[in-house]
Amino acid sequence: MHPVRDHIVMNYVYILRSEKSGKFYTGSTNDLRKRLKQHNENKSSYTKNKGPWKIIYYETCINEQDARSREKYLKTGTGKRYLKNRLRHFLPARQSQSENIC
């Protein structure tokens, strides 16, 4: 018998930025590459025809529940302020001050 290895699936909360409009999108997934591809192939209703999209920030979570909880928080006023503060170190000033983080 071979020992069974647990397959750990990481989950992520991510922030996308539209290269077209500069708007932001916040979501969660267990596969960042696949989800970004879906956004850029217009397979997500909210981001459809608003791309191309680029991942500008993500956090790793240990399970789906934590990722969804963090996503929900980042969409609150307090969460948006946290993100703006965090992202201002990585984005040009004009982009990080956008009111469009969602």
Predicted model pTM: 0.81
Question: For the chain, which residues make up each domain, given as ranges?
Answer: 11-96
- CA 56 and chain centroid, separation: 8
CA distance 22 to 46: 15
CA distance 23 to 68: 21
87 pLDDT tier (thresholds 50, 70, 90): confident
pLDDT computed for residue 86 by the predictor: 87
CA distance 17 to 86: 15
- Quick one: fold of 11-96? GIY-YIG endonuclease (3.40.1440)
For residues 96 and 88, is the Cβ–Cβ distance under 8 A? yes
Selected residue with higher pLDDT from 72 and 84? 72
Give the tens place of pLDDT for each residue, 4-54.
556 778 999 999 999 999 999 999 999 999 999 999 999 999 999 999 999
Residue 74 tokens read as: 């980042």
